[in-house]
Structure 1
């Protein structure tokens, strides 16, 4: 269970309590506040707090750029202009704080996004729960033959059953030994900060993660992408749904210009112009490497 009965009661109590405020609120995000969204088998993500909305982005932009934005007739148009021209500072006026429960190996990917404030559950002071991420059968895949950091086809039959058995058995055995090492019943017991090193990377941890909208969108661009690892992508997709309700204008611009758009090199733009003019362009006469050409074809051919 992602949240204990006590934690669920706490969420209900928090959502039931209302306080008058003069601060700006986003109705879409108010619906998400405190409510956990389940991710994977034991994980979740929930909004603990937030600041700002679409109006905060345009407010900051108009202070920064003054007369330069007067030709933009509305807030949505201004936000799209900012996104289109990579003016990132106004998006930093919005912030969000998330409570996330996730496997340790996902956390180690996630923490590479260093533009955030993080406070993680400490296994030096507390004992970790016996909760491990065990993939669903359709998420068990072989190594990709074309991508060194990707997956290939899903494992089938006896091989899939064998892998799942190893994952479960190894996790349980490691946790049994973890408990025995820190036991205080008739033995001195190993320090928790040392006993934790015996635990596998699929055990769950928790943290509070606070970041601004600009850096959150960068996180989503990389981690909600179809090429991202499945286990972190599902967290990014859950967060993306919250962001869409929080700042709808900014999220729509993000979808159009970042997730759905593409950046072309000077060589690629030259190739597009030559194609429009009717010239036959190939990898050999494009001025691009094979990898660049393959990616270029993926953009123009869909």
Structure 2
């Protein structure tokens, strides 16, 4: 019997980027003053004011210059939500071409479990210790049965692309995702819950965990743009 690797976390790592607040400023100012990348009179406060203006007035195209590439490991159900954001490029691990590892997701002990209300207008509340233990037991049993079926098919010579049908969406996959700052802000606005946002979103917690890690990277690489995003209601320009 294969030993399952159980995780309750996600991985979001910076792989590559060419992001900067200066890139936003250059793109915006070329409309009025032409070439600006060698301008010795650039002023940090003035640049910040321009970025805030662009964000507030939703002049979005200057935020499309540059990109970052992230490496992500998460359950497949998270990827299906993430890949709905089409302002990005994706390459995901293929279960057609490689055997998936037995890495599966279990909710952390502090993960809310119980839905109260109707779809589209509900909240989640903590479960009891008994409910958490029940979730763990049921998921582990399902994962073990599914992965054993997957392995039996592979041993029998069944193609990976067929055998993978037995695997649940709680299994981990990996991908590279590349997006520009505007696309990233659109993703963050929809996949984080912030009561002070202009449009409050209520994402599933697991994809929010990914978004929080991605936002920390964004804030470090483009602090002025991130501050303007925050100050203007977390609305993508």
The structure with the largest helix share of the pair is 1
Q: CA deviation at 1:60?
A: 0.8
The CA distance in 2 between the partners of 1:231 and 1:133, in whole Å, is 10
1:217 aligns with 2:185: yes
CA contact under 8 A between 1:124 and 1:193: conserved in structure 2? yes
Is 230-239 or 156-165 further displaced after alignment?
156-165
Deviations 1:232-255 (A, max 9, x none): 001101111111110010000000
Is residue 2:170 matched to residue 1:190?
no
Aligned residues: 214
Query: What corresponds to 1:41 in structure 2?
Result: 8
What's the CA shift string for 1:98-142, capped at 9, x where partnerless? 110111001000000011111110100001110011001321411
1:157, CA displacement in angstroms? Answer: 3.0
Larger CA Rg, structure 1 vs 2 = 1
SS of the counterpart of 1:139? coil
Per-residue CA distance 1:26-55 (angstroms, 9 max, x = gap): xxxxxxxxxxxxxx6353111111013001
| Alpha-carbon spacing, 1:42–1:234, altered in 2? closer, same or farther (3 Å) | closer
2:97 to 122, 125, 138: 125
1:132-171 paired onto structure 2 within 5 Å: 132-148=104-120, 150-171=122-143
CA RMSD of aligned residues (A): 2.0
Counterpart pick for 1:99 among 71, 78, 100: 71
Matched with 1:205 is: 173
Equivalents in 1 of 2:15, 2:120: separation in Å?
Answer: 37
TM-score by length of 1: 0.67
Aligned to 2:225: 250
TM-score by structure 2 length?
A: 0.84
The runs of 5 or more residues in structure 1 that have no matched partner are 1-39, 262-302
Q: Is the 8 A contact 1:57 1:91 kept in 2?
A: yes
Question: 4+ runs of 1 displaced by more than 3 Å?
Answer: 146-151
Q: Give 3-state SS (helix, strand or coil) of 1:138's partner.
A: coil
Where does 1:1-302 land on structure 2 (aligned, <5 Å)?
A: 41-66=8-33, 74-148=46-120, 150-183=122-155, 187=156, 189-226=157-194, 227-259=202-234
Question: Which structure carries more strand by proportion?
Answer: 2
Contact 2:103 2:172 in 1 (8 A): yes
CA distance in 1, matches of 2:14, 2:129: 39
Deviation at 1:164, TM superposition (A): 1.5
What does the per-residue CA deviation read over 1:188-241, in whole Å, with 9 as the maximum and x for residues that have no partner?
x21100110110011000001001000101100111224211100011011111
**Deviation readout 1:5-36 (Å, 9 max, x if unpaired):** xxxxxxxxxxxxxxxxxxxxxxxxxxxxxxxx
Alpha-carbon spacing, 1:171–1:151, altered in 2? closer, same or farther (3 Å): farther
Using CA pairs below 8 Å that are at least 6 residues apart, which structure has the higher relative contact order? 2
Cα 1:120–1:173 change in 2 (3 A) is same
* Partner SS state of residue 105, structure 2: coil
Distance 2:89 2:154 in 1: 31
Partner SS state of residue 117, structure 2? coil
Distance 1:118 1:182 in 2: 27
